[in-house]
Structure 1
Amino acid sequence: MSKVCQLTGKKVISGNNVSHSKRRTKRKFYPNLITKKFYIPEEDRHITLKISTSSLRTINKIGISAAIKRAKAKGYLK
């Protein structure tokens, strides 16, 4: 699987390593992803998502149903 959050769309971005002498070499910044299983009571089933830890905080705040609805509206989740 690719390194993309299924709820927020966060993905790998590129940048530079900067040495003490200000020499720049390319590097990648990876999102902090976890694979987590959630229970959706409306559908009475479990779903496994690959999400970033920041979206896990959002799920704790607004709930899994609202987070999935928001992700579908933005086109991140099918």
Structure 2
Amino acid sequence: MKICEITGKVAQVGNNVSHSNKKTKRRFNPNLKTKRFWSEEEGRWITLKVSAAGMKTINKKGLSVALREAAAPRKVY
């Protein structure tokens, strides 16, 4: 299943709309990349499946903080 390990983004469902306005179901997959990150705390490489937004989050907050926040339960409103 395509899911970002940092942001939790998953595929969304929408419609293909033809020129005649006929609608058929399609999926919008997140922009996932398999990327290795160096963990200073553990002294090893960590391989994650992350979206582009997840990579920006890691660059901004740092790997250890992003992983800690990803493991925390998410609030659902």
TM interval, short-chain normalised? 0.7 to 0.9
Separation of aligned partners in 2, 1:45 and 1:39: 6
| 2:2 equivalent in structure 1 | 3
User: If the length of structure 1 is used for normalisation, what is the TM-score?
Assistant: 0.86
SS at the partner of 1:16? strand
CA RMSD of aligned residues (A): 1.2
Give the number of aligned pairs: 74
Query: Residue deviations 1:3-23, cap 9 Å, x none?
Result: 111111111111101122221
* Structure 1 runs, 4 residues or longer, greater than 3 Å off: none
Query: Residue deviations 1:6-46, cap 9 Å, x none?
Result: 11111111110112222111111010000000111111111
User: If the length of structure 2 is used for normalisation, what is the TM-score?
Assistant: 0.87
- Residue identity opposite 2:18 in structure 1: S
| 1:51 equivalent in structure 2 | 50
- Unpaired runs of 5+ residues, structure 1, are none
- Unpaired runs of 5+ residues, structure 2, are none
For 1:16-55, list aligned pairs within 5 A.
Answer: 16-55=15-54
- Residue identity opposite 1:22 in structure 2: N
SS at the partner of 1:74? coil
Separation of aligned partners in 2, 1:41 and 1:29: 35
SS at the partner of 2:48? strand
Identity score, percent:
53
